[in-house]
Structure formats: structure tokens, C-alpha cells
Amino acid sequence: MKTSTSKLSSLQPEQLATWATEAINRSKSGQIPTYIPLLAGADRQCFAVQIRAIDGQILSWGSVDKTFPLMSVVKPFVLLYLLCELGEKAVFDCVGCDPSEMAFNSLTQLEIDKGKPRNPMINSGAIALASLIPGKNAVERCQNLGNWLNQQANSQLFVDELMLDSVNAMPNQKNWDLALAMVEWGYLENSEIALETYNRVCCLSGNVEDLAKLGMVLVNSGEAIGENCRTVKALMATCGLYEASGRFAVRVGLPAKSGVSGALLSVIPGEGAIASYSPPLDKEGNSVGGLFLLEQIARVC
């Protein structure tokens, strides 16, 4: 009996090009974030996508060599790394696993939750988890995470030092407030090293190929990390797009994670990964063009 090829791997380049062109058009309604100076200068029109299917098919379109910081797209991978290194108990003693109702950097949400981050996909959760990454300082911690990810994914992530300088040039008061509140509630020991590590891992950068390869780690996971990948995909599905996660689940139904750079990663379990980059964001901080594209793919796959 002939096994049918996956729908993802039978997507046609012309189809992808049509969707991507429309995605660029739709992205005009989005905003470029201004709180990180170097991100504020991003090219609104830039668009890149790579789709990798489990059978080896790769489909790309747009500025595929353009590198960008992962920003919050790194969060599921911080979680995966720590689940593999430290185990579930250490991770979920530190962060919850429920969807949030407020913005990704909301102090009110953290206060309602008595200082325990609601989940690993919002800033408080990722800052708390950054403090658990092994290593004697932020540089070493980020190196440990980056090396592990590049090994797992065969990717070439690097720290964009200029982006990091830009992040540090305008200290993010909201993230500081989150870190200090977690120290007060006893969920964080050292706010400085946690934030320094968090800012650094957010500046791990690559192109859409690197991002799609990271996604394939979650799809192709062998027995050793399979259970942890399942946990990560579940949290991406329920929390990956912040307070828009529930709405997105109804419309698209795929685990996804966005970043303020305009990066967006989604996986179709058992089929493949879709990575895109398009800077304009909607009011929740998710890439307008990237979400549009995912919606189109989900309709046919």
C-alpha cells in the first residue's frame, strides 16, 4: 500500500508565494515595536518563510538569509533545555502551566498569581527560567543553551551583540519590575543575573532556516526528549501567543510561538515546522503577516 505524502510536503511554491505576498499586504496594519531601538528600525516589508516537512521537503520564500533575534521565540527552547537538563519538577516548581489573560509583560498578572509566573511563555516565566540555566554567568549560560540548541537542531544560532547593546541601551522597566516582584515573592534569587541571561538568550539570532530547524527538534524528537517536546508543544498551543492563544487555537489549532522581532514558529506534530519573519505586530505583539500565513496553511494541511 502506498503511504500518502503529508499535506505540508505537497504544498506548492506558487501557493506559498501567493500567500506570502498577501501576508506582506496584510502586515501593513501592524506596528513595529519601538522600545528596542534596533528593532524599531526593522524593514516593514521584509518577509521570509521556510517550511520543513518530516519527509525532508523544504519550501522557502522571501528574504531567507535575513537574520533576526528570536526574542520570545526562544522561550519554548529555554523550557525544553531545562526540562531535559533539570527535569519537570525543578521547572514547574518555578513556573506554572496555565494560559495568561494579560499582556506578556504584565505585572498585574504576576501579582494576581502571587509572584509565580503563570507559564513559561510570558516574560516573567522566561526570566524565572533563565535563572535556572546552568552556568556561572549570563554569557556562559547563554552559550550553554545556544550550543545545546545548535547541536539538537543543526542550526547556527549566534548572539547578535549589536541587538543586545540596543536592548541594554534602553533598560526595560517592565521586565525589571517583574524580576523584582519575583524576588519579593521568593520565586527568584538574583534578579540581575536572571535579567542579564534573559536579555542575552532573547538575542540568540538566526535566519528562517535556523528557526525552522529548531521547530523540527519538536517534531522529530526521539525517545530521549520526546516527552519533554510534547510538554513544550502543549504549552505553545495554550500559551504561545499570550492572551491571543485561545482565539488562535480556534482559528488555526497549531502550537505556535511569536517574538517581538516578528519571528513566528509553528509546528504541525508529525508533519513539520513553519518558520516566518515579518516585523509588523498586532496589538498582542504577534506578527500580523506570520499569523495570516499560518492561518492559510492550517486551512489546507
List interacting residues with ligand GLN (CB under 6 A): 71-72, 104, 123, 172, 175, 202, 259-260, 285
Of 48 and 260, CB closest to ligand GLN:
260
For the bound state, the minimum distance from the C-beta of residue 190 to ligand GLN, rounded and expressed in Å, comes to 18
For the bound state, the minimum distance from the C-beta of residue 140 to ligand GLN, rounded and expressed in Å, comes to 20
Of 259 and 272, CB closest to ligand GLN:
259
For the bound state, the minimum distance from the C-beta of residue 203 to ligand GLN, rounded and expressed in Å, comes to 8
Of 257 and 271, CB closest to ligand GLN:
257
For the bound state, the minimum distance from the C-beta of residue 245 to ligand GLN, rounded and expressed in Å, comes to 13
For the bound state, the minimum distance from the C-beta of residue 65 to ligand GLN, rounded and expressed in Å, comes to 22
For the bound state, the minimum distance from the C-beta of residue 207 to ligand GLN, rounded and expressed in Å, comes to 17
Nearest residue relative to ligand GLN (C-beta): 72
Of 133 and 202, CB closest to ligand GLN:
202
Of 61 and 81, CB closest to ligand GLN:
81
Of 85 and 284, CB closest to ligand GLN:
284
* Helix axes 75-86 and 138-153, enclosed angle (nearest 10): 90
Of 233 and 257, CB closest to ligand GLN:
257
For the bound state, the minimum distance from the C-beta of residue 100 to ligand GLN, rounded and expressed in Å, comes to 12
- The residues, ordered by sequence, that sit 6+ positions from 272 with a Cβ below 8 Å of its Cβ are 6, 8, 9, 51, 52, 53, 54, 57, 215, 216, 219
HEC string of the chain? Answer: CCCCCCCHHHCCHHHHHHHHHHHHHHHHHCECCCCCHHHHCCCCCCCEEEEEECCCCEEEEECCCCCEECHHHHHHHHHHHHHHHHCHHHHHHHCCCCCCCCCCCCHHHHHHCCCCCCCCCCHHHHHHHHCCCCCCCHHHHHHHHHHHHHHHHCCCCEECHHHHHHHHHCCCHHHHHHHHHHHHHCCCCCHHHHHHHHHHHHCEEECHHHHHHHHHHHHHCCHHHHHHHHHHHHHHHHHCCHHHHHHHHHHCCCCEEECCCCEEEEEECCCEEEEEECCCECCCCCEHHHHHHHHHHHHHC
